[in-house]
Structure 1
């Protein structure tokens, strides 16, 4: 087990993954483990510090999550965040009670001393609160080092034991100087060095892939998106001609997606791509299915069947490679802690028992922004790695209800118009993801002198850095107006266009 400078214990907060990403941005490698991780396994990672993340429960509630108490005896610096702070205070004899007024949103953090953890940050900085409980009595040995208007114990510390805690969430975007606070803990208190980067990650993964694969072949699932393209490039570096890249046309692709992917791999990666047209197979299985989770699972299972059939045409294939990301894993299943399942991802959860492939998932511990950096490190062109994310289930989860050829045709036309307008105005490069959803909600309209009763299209454009959180993009009204006008005028079957102004959370980026 390799050394991990910072170990983050997961208590179920949807924000926990952001702690890891913020620290990695500062060059400090860290791993997230369940709150229940055995102390022996934590020791094997040889950490220099431990962070206790947030969580949805109350520390005083029956069945609440508590780590092995031996973590407090390791002599390592510890940082508690929100739920983690309350755990620390309770463990050392303080009390935590329900707050008279729950605190969600921005607050001003003030502090009265130049404490090391506040190095190079501003007194009165904006932080993000999200808690319904509060510290009532401070544990012996701790002192208040920061406060806000509604949180007298916004930050506490026990200098002798090198234990620190915040009631707020420094990892979220709204905590303006939160990254500096995490950096101060890791670098100045835990004495971690900035050695984590995509160059070292690439070299390490290439060696791991070589050892894992040996002289066998790897079937690589290719979509043409950033993730699978980076996986293919990484495998090409590691195993060369033992890579068998397969692109499956599932009938759920965007306009001319197949042709674009084939051209991109040939001209920019120099890899011979095998294309399988399985559109009829996918669409027949989706007929009559309206439940989003069922659609995702059917698509995922059918992908596996198609890849298995293709693999039998080649000798020596024992591995299946996928572009699974950290965020995919977290949103699908609680493999690293008690986080709630948000939605299933088609490429997460292992393979069915009847398959004999071993999975190769070189990206499943890194975030989207890190994948893009890795792509640049591997020499991929910027226009390839800057493509917006496209979900594995494709347009199947951008049509509300049953998926059929006619709706796919309508959606493709609307979607390509929206993308054309974003590209022509420069807003494609300025945003994280943009797409159109066919709502299958009909409304009355008027075109010329005629009454219409047609479908509604929803345009979704968001800004994000890793996909864990996102805000709707503030696109100029004239651009949105052009998108709406063109879709309604050029796409038969749509007479209304709406713009999604929800953020993640509480919404997800995709609609299904």
Structure 2
């Protein structure tokens, strides 16, 4: 088992950012909820305690037993983690007179301290806490402060532990990455060998041991996660991998043919299944968005199950689960015994009685793309925008019909191609066209029209949890609007969605 940094999650909104920053240093780390400390810890080189919405003074505050770590390996407490170290050793933590949130300047009291190596005086840090450390326990040494916080950072020399009340993992902390590097590399002694190439090599060896000569089935979606999963498995086991790419009739224009062709060019053992008529017939007359999703999900399982049973002696189901899926399936509010279903193939292991293999389950999205690049997957596939599992069904408000699908496919094709031609595509996280379930009055030539409205949507985001609308150039929007109205029969009006998430969502249904 590889050496790693263990991050105990106490519920901070920033915990995943800590892991991402450490992974960017090519150091491997894993996040565990505070109530589920791993039993085998010989390979753990250091421990990080995350922030939390709790106060250490709350009666139900998380206070795990850290005796297996303190004094044995280096420990870094961040925000709540620092306050927990203080509280458990007899120090005083109290409510701040004013919630300390936002930028602050760090005054370094011990510039030679290994945690603060190369951290400049008065560098900017980011605060986000309601409590503050009023009094450090005996044996603790204050190593940094700010204008408002006396004990902004401390060391416990006898335990080789540190605590900081600011968040080095967020963008606003100017030298946060350097501080984390000081901890994981200089103090913990981790070597920076966690690279896409090393991941690929170790994964191929592990997959070959686990799978042996048995067969694996994988549902491809055309998205980044399933594509990288397929190529990695193909590198490991070749034609023992059987990929199934289902056309539900709700993909983008020409996507089924184009992506299937790309997959085959990459040497994947893939079968395309055109089930579009089956899906569209099942959606006839359905207008409720949740009902649409359920119908599409159920039918996908049925089609995939039918096709998988045509392959003899399949033992494994591969899934493109990634690390945020794994983390979010366990809540810090309490133990969770149920792992949520992922992607379009949720539920299939129970139906098909297959063992599950998830080669990307420890990777973040940006790491998946880097692994894909190292595997030689074309940029066109790796850089694709996210696309919803139910496809265009939730971008067609109201009933889904073949005519509406064709209409929104054409409008979407003009929009996406325009973004690519203007080199705007890679500056947008997700974009698409939405067909409204209403018509508006228009004039074309000498005739009045009463036709559909298309809404264009383009957003910036990192993970889809929050998103902001993209300020596309007016000239570009005007040109795309004219092209859609002139080339797509049935549309006489185009609008641009300038709402952010929250309060809106990225998709309209």
Mapped contact 2:11–2:332 kept (Cα < 8 A)? no
Verify the 8 A CA contact 2:435 2:452 in the aligned structure 1. Answer: no
Give the deviation of 1:363 after TM superposition.
0.8
Give 1:300 deviation, angstroms: 3.8
Give distance in 2, aligned partners of 1:156 and 1:421: 54
Contact persistence 1:37–1:67 (CA under 8 A): no
Q: Give 2:24's aligned residue.
A: 25
Deviates more, 1:121-130 or 1:360-369: 121-130
Q: 2:423 aligns with which of 415, 419, 426?
A: 426
Structure-2 separation of matches of 1:319 and 1:446: 55
Equivalent positions of 1:346-495 (< 5 A) are 346-347=343-344, 351=348, 353-399=350-396, 403-431=400-428, 433-436=429-432, 438=434, 440=436, 447=443, 455=453, 457-462=455-460, 464=462, 472-487=469-484, 490-491=487-488, 492-493=490-491, 495=493
Q: Is the CA contact 2:289–2:394 (under 8 Å) kept in the aligned structure 1?
A: no
Map Cα deviations across residues 312-351 of structure 1 (whole Å, 9 max, x no partner): 11111121112221223344x227886999x975358664
* Contact kept in structure 2, 1:35 and 1:337, CA below 8 Å: no
Which of these residues, 195, 200, 203, is aligned with residue 201 of structure 2?
203
Please state how far the C-alpha of 1:243 moved relative to its aligned partner.
1.4
Alignment of 1:208-219 (within 5 A): 208-219=206-217
Q: Which residue of 1 aligns with 2:159?
A: 161
- Shifted more, 414-423 versus 343-352: the winner is 343-352
Unmatched tracts of structure 2, length 5 or more: none
Separation in 2, partners of 1:358, 1:10: 29
Deviation per CA, 1:367-412, whole angstroms, max 9, x where unpaired? 1211122122222233332223334333344455665545534432
Give aligned pairs, total. Answer: 502
Q: Name the structure 1 match of 2:49.
A: 52
**Does the Cα contact within 8 Å between 2:301 and 2:345 map onto a contact in 1?**
no
Are the aligned partners of 2:455 and 2:495 in contact in 1 as well (CA < 8 Å)? yes
What is the SS of the residue equivalent to 2:166?
coil
State whether residues 109 and 124 of structure 1, in contact with CA within 8 Å, keep that contact through their aligned partners in structure 2. yes
- Per the TM alignment, residue 285 of structure 1 is displaced from its structure 2 partner at its CA by 5.1
Q: 181-190 vs 373-382, which deviates more?
A: 373-382
CA 1:468–1:365: 2 relative to 1, 3 Å: farther
Structure-2 residue corresponding to 1:187: 185
Describe the shift of the 1:344–1:210 C-alpha distance in structure 2 as closer, same or farther (beyond 3 A).
closer
> Which residue in the other structure is 2:35 paired with?
36
CA contact 2:31–2:327 (8 Å) conserved in 1: no
Counterpart pick for 1:329 among 318, 326, 331: 326
Helix, strand or coil for the counterpart of 2:173? coil
User: Quick one: structure 1 residues 145 and 73, their matched pair in 2 at CA, closer, same or farther if it must change by over 3 Å?
Assistant: closer
Task: Indicate the larger mover: 277-286 or 239-248.
Answer: 277-286
The 3-state SS of whatever aligns with 1:354 is helix
Of 246, 250, 258, the match for 1:260? 258
Task: Confirm or deny: 8 A CA contact 1:10 1:337 kept in the other structure.
Answer: no
Distance in 2 of aligned mates of 1:261 and 1:273: 11
CA distance in 1, matches of 2:343, 2:303: 14
Deviations 1:127-162 (A, max 9, x none): 333323333333333233333344443323223322
Shift of 1:22: 1.3
Task: Work out which of the residue numbers 115, 119, 122 in structure 1 matches 2:120.
Answer: 122
Corresponding residue number in structure 2 for 1:316: 313
Determine if contact 2:415/2:433 at 8 Å carries over to the other structure: no
Partner residue, 2:246 = 248
SS at match of 1:371: helix
**TM-score, normalization: structure 1?**
0.86
Q: Secondary structure at the match of 2:459?
A: strand
Does the aligned pair in 1 maintain the 2:453–2:492 contact within 8 Å? yes
Change (3 A) 1:303 1:443: closer
Partner-residue secondary structure (3-state), 1:28 = coil
In structure 1, stretches of 5+ residues that fail to align are none
What is the TM-score with the length of structure 2 in the denominator?
0.87
The CA distance in 2 between the partners of 1:410 and 1:510, in whole Å, is 18
Q: CA deviation at 1:202?
A: 0.8
Kindly indicate whether the alpha-carbon contact (under 8 Å) linking 2:319 and 2:345 is maintained by their aligned counterparts in 1: no
The answer (yes or no) to whether the contact 1:488–1:497 under 8 Å persists in 2 is: no
